[in-house]
Structure 1
Amino acid sequence: MASEFSNKRVLIFQQRGWGFRIGHYLAKRLVLEGAKIGALTFKRSTHNFIVEQKEVQYEMIINHDDIMSDPKSYLAGEHYSLEEIGKALGIDSMWQIIATSRRHTRSYKDKFYYSYRQNVSDEEILDYVMAAYKCIKSIFEKFKPEVIIVPNFPDVFHIMCNLYAEQKGVTMLAITDPRIKGYNIFTHYYKENKGLFYDHVDALNAEKTNSPNRDKAKKYIQEFRAQFKKPYFTVVHSGGKTFKQWIKYWLKPWYHIWLWYTTEHVNYIKSTGISIDYRPPRIILRDFFASRRYARFMDKYEYYPFDQIKKFVYFPLQFQPEAVIDVAAPYYSNQIETARQIAMSLPGDYTLVVKEHPAMVGLRSPSYIEKLARTINVKLIDYRIPTQDVLKRTDLVISPNGTTLVEAAFYNKPAIQLGNLGTMLKLPNVFQHSDITTITSKIKELLKTNLQSPEYEQKLENYVAAVMDTGLEFNYYQVWEQAEKGDMEKLWQFYRAEIKRVLNI
């Protein structure tokens, strides 16, 4: 059918579960409107699906995992220096983004859930980086994408492609979570600081435009303050399992071992070996019993009594490895050291309160928790204490990035963001400060800051309204990660409008 998309060249990163549940649907709709589609696949099971399906005729399909598995073969003798690659991407140093490749820089075979030891040598990592650069360059030379759709910006390949696309004037778009419950927005950059939402909230703050959702935003803020809104992805730790749940729990590792012996290991990557996608039986059992031991440790640990703490600054631990910290705050990815530095920098009688991320319970080792809890001027509190109880009592939040910064905004609590995630920096309570050596004076300044003002309320309303004006109310992450049903037509229209906007058609 005739469409504004006729012969427009769209590259889609068909990645893991997103490729099955969302990416394939977008490809079908784009092809129906005449677009030419290319695919870069991540995870071989996803690649096999994309190759074998009959609904979309791709102009180009590239298997990323084949490149990662044997980068030397893909390079075929070609060589690129890091200086050359960095120049093509418009950056001075490559190592900051190289560090985001968890398969290379973290070892899954050494420890559950990932060891901080490097998995492969620097030389092998550089082979992959060169191969990734060759692949990206080849895509732009041969397929010539006019827009690129990705699920997110989780690691080095996506970031390299994003930076290269910027140099070529090509938009790379992904949906991200602005932490306004139920809403999703587009971002065009791995640091989440480019796109319609960011321009719109700036215009609202400058009083250059109005929002049709002003009253709706006010209502959302009132409702949040009356009843804390938990994110959809909140992990709920129940008091116990039913008999049936216990049976499934204990049978699960043996089921995966049975699958190991009876199915083909399509997701094995030769260069990086054991991973979360390729677990031999001993690793399956290691993971099961380690997770069980870690979780029991957390449940029985003697946390510092929260009610005995007086003046404190709150530092919520982040899920890790994860893009929110490893991509957007790479210099603060060592959370124990970051907590130590902040705790040493607190003025007066303040102490640093730290709480585990609920989704990391059963994933973070007891030795990590012990080391953190036995750090000077750090008080580790029970992860089961509701976030709202901590936020209501704290005088300041400090975090690399993350949801807590947004939640603190509704309680008029100042926050320091150490990282570069641009979405949270649009909040009136969030102040970026990345120099630990001068953070004491910034903390003292913010402790004196009065956020109980009409101007603050206006800017908070602007943030929420901008999300509602430019975003989509849709169960996006549940469709992606939990295979929930959703109004896919609604999602398509959201993508369609954004693609038209960035292509100026």
Structure 2
Amino acid sequence: MNLLFVSDLDFTILYKEIAGLFKKKLDYKCDALIGGRLFYERYKNDISFRKTWYFQEICGENEKILSDMSWEKVLEEIEVYENKYGRPTLLSAALSDRTYCNLPRQDRARRVIGTYKRIESFLDENKPDFVISSGFEALPHFIFSDVCQYRKIPVFYFLCTRILNLHSSMYNQYEESSSHGINLNLEPSNESLIKAENYIEAYIKKQHKPLLEQLLPYDNYKIGFNKIYNFFRYLYRYYVTKTYANDHAYLSPIKKINFEIKNRIKRFSHKYLNYSNLPDDLENWYYFPLHVQPEYTTLIAGINAQDQIGTIISLSNSISLGEGIVVKEHPGMLGRRSKLYYKKIMALPNVRLVKPSTSTFELIRKSKGLITINGTAGMEAALIGKPVITIGNAVFNNYYNILKLKDIPRRKWAENIRSYTRGFKFNKTKLIKYVAQVFSQCNSFDFVEPQNSDAVIEKENILKIFNHINNEIKKSISDKNYGLQIIENKSYI
């Protein structure tokens, strides 16, 4: 069995340990595409891997791809590749990357087609049986998944259920799958039903963030010794060793300082925004949490809700005259949006922007319902029996009692929202069954960037992740169709 780890940055720290277990326990051959010069240089000769490649070099990230090809020829290639990979548009590939999506049209097109060609060539030479990815949040990763799907190679990623730290499996780029993930036709065990009921009872009494989110840091603005040390290390790696010098993911130190100063000024200015108070009749208002942006969750999994203000306008025009929408900023976005952005939200007649410090759980409990693109708050609201409306692809979309607007034209949002909320009835038995299915079919472990949490690279956690991947490989060996997906364009309605 030939395994290929497509590993971005510090995920290499985790994946080299898992590859080592596959080599030791099962004698599998493990190769790695490593993203990030620093991690490639550190792990390119690690004994866990048979072969390693520098991902940016394979994709020609630092080259002008197809620069010698005429634009007329590029247009022909676009048509060929859009037909080949079954998409009405390959713009979704460009949108997967927060850097390349902003390139001029011709440069963006050349980059996308050129990357498809390079990854095809790589897979022509190296034919893995099973691919483990660290995500699809960048152009090379997104395209790698497309090419693997086209060639019938299972490309696997961990799908977080948003319940505790339980994970399922995903074989496409959209956080949804009709044939993998949670199988709602499988009856959960009695043990899982009891466990689910106890969990829901405890959660209704006291809500909490998913364990995964608790591992993520939102204090990046604090200045201390570590920040100062990291900055000087950044200077050294950029100017002396040149590790970061030719990597688009790393700004020049001058641009980075400018970026950090601007963000801190904007973050400080948030304190003086004229935030609204919570409405007295919060039970007549929907809660809409803003999402991190630009980010994969909005650019790709968010379907056509990239413009969050435009989406809020569509929603505000789709609810009753006596209703409203409460909007709250994401903690990870403080300092990253302009005042003008918030003022546009504040100007909407039936929308209120409340302080970022407002309790999310209070808003969920007391509001009429929750509307989200695909945020974790959707699962949090479902767990306490509130109406949940989603706009994009979300892992919990298959839960029985959620209104999915992604399948509905915006002109019909109003009638569907009204019908859903008026007819909504919380069925605790069905909720227990769904959560029990999650408990029965998923595995518990921590999976975030290892540099954000030491818990990820603890031996016990590594073994759990290894077992999860190994079970998926066993399924693909016994069923040659397992993990294989037809490429779909789910980025737009």
Q: Answer yes or no: same fold by TM over 0.5.
A: yes
Does structure 1 residue 369 correspond to structure 2 residue 342? yes
Does structure 1 residue 425 correspond to structure 2 residue 417? no
Q: What are the within-5 Å matches in structure 2 for residues 195-344 of structure 1?
A: 198-204=181-187, 210=189, 212-232=191-211, 233-234=213-214, 247-248=224-225, 251=228, 255=232, 258-259=235-236, 263-269=240-246, 275=248, 277-310=249-282, 311-344=284-317
One-letter amino acid of the structure 2 residue matched with residue 379 of structure 1: R
Cα distance change of structure 1 residues 330 and 266 upon mapping to structure 2, 3 Å threshold:
farther
SS in 2 for 1:135: helix
| 1:391 aligned to which of 349, 364, 367 | 364
Mapped partners of 1:34, 1:74: distance in 2: 43
Does structure 1 residue 44 correspond to structure 2 residue 44? no
One-letter amino acid of the structure 1 residue matched with residue 42 of structure 2: F
Does structure 1 residue 104 correspond to structure 2 residue 104? no
Q: Deviations over 1:67-114 (max 9, x none)?
A: 121153799999671222122222221113322221112xxxxxxxxx
CA-CA distance at 1:254 after TM superposition? 5.5
Segment of structure 1 superposing worse, 368-377 or 312-321: 368-377
Q: CA RMSD in A?
A: 2.8
Q: What are the within-5 Å matches in structure 2 for residues 114-125 of structure 1?
A: 118=102, 120-125=103-108
Contact kept, 8 Å, 2:6 with 2:33, in 1: the verdict is: yes
Mapped partners of 1:284, 1:155: distance in 2: 20
CA-CA distance at 1:307 after TM superposition? 4.3
One-letter amino acid of the structure 2 residue matched with residue 140 of structure 1: L
Mapped partners of 2:330, 2:130: distance in 1: 35
Mapped partners of 1:390, 1:380: distance in 2: 12
SS in 2 for 1:375: coil
Q: Deviations over 1:266-308 (max 9, x none)?
A: 23447xxxx5x42223222212222221221223323110143
| 1:413 aligned to which of 386, 406, 411 | 386
| 2:81 aligned to which of 68, 73, 85 | 85
Residue 148 (structure 1) aligns with: 131
Does structure 1 residue 190 correspond to structure 2 residue 183? no
CA-CA distance at 1:172 after TM superposition? 0.9
SS in 1 for 2:93: helix
Mapped partners of 2:16, 2:226: distance in 1: 32
| 1:499 aligned to which of 464, 473, 493 | 473
Residue 134 (structure 1) aligns with: 117
SS in 2 for 1:23: helix
Cα distance change of structure 1 residues 431 and 307 upon mapping to structure 2, 3 Å threshold:
closer
Does structure 1 residue 346 correspond to structure 2 residue 319? yes
CA-CA distance at 1:65 after TM superposition? 4.6
CA-CA distance at 1:448 after TM superposition? 0.5
Contact kept, 8 Å, 1:260 with 1:280, in 2: the verdict is: no
Mapped partners of 1:203, 1:83: distance in 2: 42
One-letter amino acid of the structure 1 residue matched with residue 398 of structure 2: K
CA-CA distance at 1:470 after TM superposition? 2.1
Mapped partners of 2:237, 2:140: distance in 1: 29
Residue 23 (structure 1) aligns with: 15
| 1:446 aligned to which of 395, 414, 420 | 420
Segment of structure 1 superposing worse, 217-226 or 367-376: 367-376
* Structure 1 segments unaligned to the other structure (5+ residues): 1-7, 106-117
Residue 460 (structure 1) aligns with: 431
CA-CA distance at 1:246 after TM superposition? 5.2
Mapped partners of 1:289, 1:63: distance in 2: 31
Contact kept, 8 Å, 1:10 with 1:148, in 2: the verdict is: yes
Normalized against structure 2, the TM-score is what?
A: 0.86
Cα distance change of structure 1 residues 261 and 155 upon mapping to structure 2, 3 Å threshold:
closer
Mapped partners of 1:177, 1:215: distance in 2: 22
Contact kept, 8 Å, 2:391 with 2:405, in 1: the verdict is: yes
Residue 141 (structure 2) aligns with: 158
| 1:400 aligned to which of 373, 398, 402 | 373
SS in 2 for 1:458: helix
SS in 2 for 1:198: coil
| 2:49 aligned to which of 30, 43, 56 | 56
Contact kept, 8 Å, 1:344 with 1:376, in 2: the verdict is: no
Q: What is the number of equivalent residue pairs in this alignment? A: 465
Segment of structure 1 superposing worse, 92-101 or 378-387: 92-101
One-letter amino acid of the structure 1 residue matched with residue 278 of structure 2: F
Contact kept, 8 Å, 2:203 with 2:383, in 1: the verdict is: yes
| 1:490 aligned to which of 452, 464, 469 | 464
Cα distance change of structure 1 residues 253 and 502 upon mapping to structure 2, 3 Å threshold:
closer
Q: Deviations over 1:184-221 (max 9, x none)?
A: 221112112238763522334xxxx6464111111111
Cα distance change of structure 1 residues 166 and 312 upon mapping to structure 2, 3 Å threshold:
same
- Stretches of 4+ moved more than 6 A in 1? 73-80, 235-238
Contact kept, 8 Å, 1:14 with 1:24, in 2: the verdict is: no
One-letter amino acid of the structure 1 residue matched with residue 15 of structure 2: G
Mapped partners of 1:124, 1:186: distance in 2: 34
Mapped partners of 2:240, 2:438: distance in 1: 45
Contact kept, 8 Å, 1:181 with 1:231, in 2: the verdict is: yes
* Structure 2 segments unaligned to the other structure (5+ residues): 480-493
| 2:445 aligned to which of 460, 466, 474 | 474
